[in-house]
Structure 1
Amino acid sequence: MRWKTSAILLTAALALAACNASETLESVDVSKVQDKDDHPLSPAILADIRARGMDRNSPIMIRILKEEGVLEIWKARRDNRFEKLKEYQICAWSGRLGPKVKEGDRQAPEGFYSLSPYHLNPRSSYYLAINTGFPNRFDAANRRTGSNLMIHGACSSSGCYSMTDAQILEIYAFARDAFKGGQQTIQLQALPFRMTAENMARHRLSEHNEFWKMLKVGYDQFEITKRPPEVNVCEKKYVFNQQPEGNAKFNPTGACPPMSTPPALASAMKSYELAYAKDYGKAMKKYDGKIWYDPTEAERKALVAKQRKANDLAYAPTGSALKAGKLLSIEEFEKAAMAKAEAAKAAEEARQAAAVQPSAAQAASVPVPTPNPVKSETAAAPQPPKKSFWNIFGSGRQQAAEPAPQPAAPASAAQASPQSRQQDQTPQAVSDVAVPQPNPTTTPENLQTAAKKPFWKFWVTQ
């Protein structure tokens, strides 16, 4: 009899689970939801919350793992330790691994952020939105800029973490209920990947490695305590669960005050780090001589291009960085990087050339000027030699006439006459320069007339 009762209860539980699974918000037609900012969590999720020893309005924490393309909801149990309750596949995030540095770089933020009820936006153009809180104190201290970086719907991103509308409807409800329960701030941990020994070894050669090592301290402490770490900033760096001495305070850009780690946490961290070091050593043997290629946004999008069919034009999933990335030897990576740099340089040069040179149609529309016959004949006629500068101050004494030679046009700058090069050279002493002969047609009367010319007349070209 007892086994029959157990079988009946098991069958009922399975049926209930199957029923509740189909009632998640993922299957809701969001176009028909009228109360999106106050829409309740599904009965299946509420039942799961109760089964895990949680309250509907207990605190939550949001964790984003960029490379895995995952957003996790962690919720506090009645013992105040957090447990992962739900996991969502991020539909779209832009840029590559690494923090956001400046406005317009298309990077999605990485770091530890505090969200308040003020960060919820029920009237977002992207269905619903939760502001990430970027820039925080760390970002501001390091002069990182950007604005309106959200977790939102619509599956389209430019520096945001974008979900489907059905997903953000549920995520928004988790945050709303936690704030209704009295939670003052929700911690958002936006991380590049799960910061395990293997992943840290795989990404050890990244330019962001030092930044990630700093984030890893907070990641590790959460893994140990299962409680969101207390976050502060000093010396432009994150510090986690540090207790300042006396009345000292943390200044994001100033020196860190004297501080210490709680003894129980310090002891747990020591054991954790010993195990981590062992795992990291094993991972380094696996990745020795190899480097992970972090894919571009375009390479990720190429994997999911078919998903855009029959969807709105704004719908733009970006795919998985794990699937689009690859492990290369260091030599292969350097060759690939060099080839990409050369391709980018060639593309930029082509772009600049196209911007400078007119098109064939533009060139054909520009009239070509014809030479002036009068000016051409004048230019072809031989010109008398110009007077030297020092002849202005000569006595005007007539010397023996001598026909001026007609030099051939020089083939190069080296064959040019001294007079033609005179503008580019320092004047020599008068005694070293041949004095040009006067024009034989000049008469004494004309010389007297020339000598009486005003000073400025000497500068008129003959």
Structure 2
Amino acid sequence: MLKPAVAVLGTALLLAGCQDGGGSARSRAPIPTATLDLMQSKGMSQRDPILIRSYKKESEMEVWKMGSNGRYTLLKTYPICRWSGQLGPKVREGDRQAPEGFYSVTPSLMNPNSSYYLSFDTGFPNAFDRSKGRTGSNLMVHGSCSSRGCFAMTDEAIAEIYAIAREAFAGGQRSFQFQSYPFRMTAKNMALHRADPNIGFWKNLKEGSDYFEVKHQEPKVAVCAGRYSFNSSGTCSNAFDAAVAQKSASDEREIASLVNSGTKAVNLVYGDGSQHSSFRGFFAKSTGPEVSRPELLASGPREVVVTDGPSTTASLKKDDQDN
């Protein structure tokens, strides 16, 4: 099904390379043998389509690959070395926020000559961001461990992710979906963060997440009435089957149970973003790569308990259109 696009994509990749000075040797490095072996053990080919999911709070990024059944399977989870800002969407240029939402990464957004080893642009701002008047540019997934609104993965990790994406494009994939979340969209996290001003937006993101969690297929994304709409056919209503609706309803019941049992509403306040715990102190030596604002990472996020009343609890039961 994807084969006829190979020639077109090959040309697109060459053009992208010319725009970036012809490409670098590091951008042509092969996928590591261990990762190829992992693919084989999971019935995957290096040229199968991919999808990437990112989580700020957990500081993790997942690469998924499509199998012969048309469903995505998790290939590998990478720790994020650095992201900046707070939980919540990027709003304007210079706010140091890493984006949240559903993005499409095309071959032209791959940068083989990045100043941060290798990188790809997330595609921010997308149609949803533009509908909100949000501004910003060059929001990347890249190497090193320094961030000003990006996801820094270390040079080793971005080299592997870049190679996996490159081979998927070579196999005929026209673009891959990049799903960026504030946290894993679990009932517990939704209950904990129920009083955050972004809860309406996050509930909207969870709709797309729920579809992927159940179907392991890429949701078709549109923008309607200032919200993300998933799999809709010219309407603002999501087109989900019974299994997806059942998961969403089950999560709502669990959220209500957690709230009723006394789970406190909290806000996480970061000095300036965070990083995966596996990197704490790892780059203390002067020979290591640059770590942006290391003094703000030392204590981790500050958890602030929020007093929420009936109005906050009730907001969990309705869609917030003004996100």
TM-score by length of 1: 0.57
What is the SS of the residue equivalent to 1:232? Answer: strand
Q: Give the structure 1 partner of residue 210 of structure 2.
A: 220
Task: Return closer, same or farther for 1:191/1:268 CA change in 2, 3 Å cut-off.
Answer: same
1:314 is aligned to 2:304: no
1:230 is aligned to 2:204: no
Greater relative contact order: 1 or 2 (C-alpha under 8 angstroms, separation 6 or more)? Answer: 2
- 2:65 and 2:255 mapped to 1: Cα distance? 30
Choose 316-325 or 150-159, whichever is displaced more.
316-325
Displacement of 1:141: 1.1
- 1:322 and 1:77 mapped to 2: Cα distance? 41
Which amino acid in structure 2 is aligned with residue 53 of structure 1? G
Q: Give the structure 2 partner of residue 429 of structure 1.
A: none
Q: Give the structure 1 partner of residue 248 of structure 2.
A: 273
- 2:122 and 2:91 mapped to 1: Cα distance? 15
Write the deviation string for residues 186-207 of structure 1: whole angstroms up to 9, x where unpaired.
0000100011111000000101
2:260 to 285, 288, 304: 285
Displacement of 1:311: 3.5
Write the deviation string for residues 258-279 of structure 1: whole angstroms up to 9, x where unpaired.
46554xx331223212321221
Among all aligned residue pairs of Structure 1 and Structure 2, give the percentage whose two residues are the same amino acid: 42
Q: Give the structure 2 partner of residue 450 of structure 1.
A: none
1:352-391 correspondence runs (5 A)? none
Q: Give the structure 2 partner of residue 324 of structure 1.
A: 301
TM-score by length of 2: 0.80
- 1:327 and 1:40 mapped to 2: Cα distance? 45
Instruction: Decide which structure has greater strand share.
Output: 2
1:141 is aligned to 2:131: yes
1:92 to 69, 73, 82: 82
- 1:184 and 1:321 mapped to 2: Cα distance? 41
Contact 1:55 1:78 in 2 (8 A): no
Displacement of 1:56: 1.3
1:125 is aligned to 2:96: no
- 2:233 and 2:137 mapped to 1: Cα distance? 31
Task: Return closer, same or farther for 1:232/1:299 CA change in 2, 3 Å cut-off.
Answer: closer
Task: Return closer, same or farther for 1:72/1:299 CA change in 2, 3 Å cut-off.
Answer: closer
1:55-454 correspondence runs (5 A)? 55-244=45-234, 258=235, 261-262=238-239, 265-288=240-263, 290-298=264-272, 300=274, 304=280, 307-312=283-288, 314-316=290-292, 324-326=301-303, 328=305, 330=307
Aligned length: 281
Write the deviation string for residues 421-441 of structure 1: whole angstroms up to 9, x where unpaired.
xxxxxxxxxxxxxxxxxxxxx
Displacement of 1:54: 1.4
What is the SS of the residue equivalent to 1:297? Answer: coil
- 1:86 and 1:278 mapped to 2: Cα distance? 31
- 1:73 and 1:300 mapped to 2: Cα distance? 20
- 2:177 and 2:133 mapped to 1: Cα distance? 22
Q: Give the structure 1 partner of residue 35 of structure 2.
A: 45
Task: Return closer, same or farther for 1:219/1:177 CA change in 2, 3 Å cut-off.
Answer: same
Displacement of 1:320: 7.8
Contact 2:83 2:273 in 1 (8 A): no
Contact 1:294 1:321 in 2 (8 A): no
Displacement of 1:98: 0.4
What is the SS of the residue equivalent to 2:73? Answer: strand
Displacement of 1:160: 0.6
Write the deviation string for residues 413-458 of structure 1: whole angstroms up to 9, x where unpaired.
xxxxxxxxxxxxxxxxxxxxxxxxxxxxxxxxxxxxxxxxxxxxxx
Instruction: Decide which structure has greater helix share.
Output: 1
Contact 1:67 1:322 in 2 (8 A): no
Displacement of 1:297: 2.8
What is the SS of the residue equivalent to 1:84? Answer: strand
- 1:190 and 1:182 mapped to 2: Cα distance? 24
Which amino acid in structure 2 is aligned with residue 328 of structure 1? V
What is the SS of the residue equivalent to 1:307? Answer: coil
Task: Return closer, same or farther for 1:308/1:190 CA change in 2, 3 Å cut-off.
Answer: same
What is the SS of the residue equivalent to 1:218? Answer: helix
Write the deviation string for residues 277-301 of structure 1: whole angstroms up to 9, x where unpaired.
221122213444x332313235858
- 1:91 and 1:317 mapped to 2: Cα distance? 13
Q: Give the structure 1 partner of residue 19 of structure 2.
A: none
Write the deviation string for residues 90-115 of structure 1: whole angstroms up to 9, x where unpaired.
01111010000000111100000000
Contact 2:270 2:300 in 1 (8 A): no
Which amino acid in structure 2 is aligned with residue 315 of structure 1? V
Give the root-mean-square deviation of aligned CA atoms.
2.5
- 1:275 and 1:74 mapped to 2: Cα distance? 25
- 1:97 and 1:156 mapped to 2: Cα distance? 17
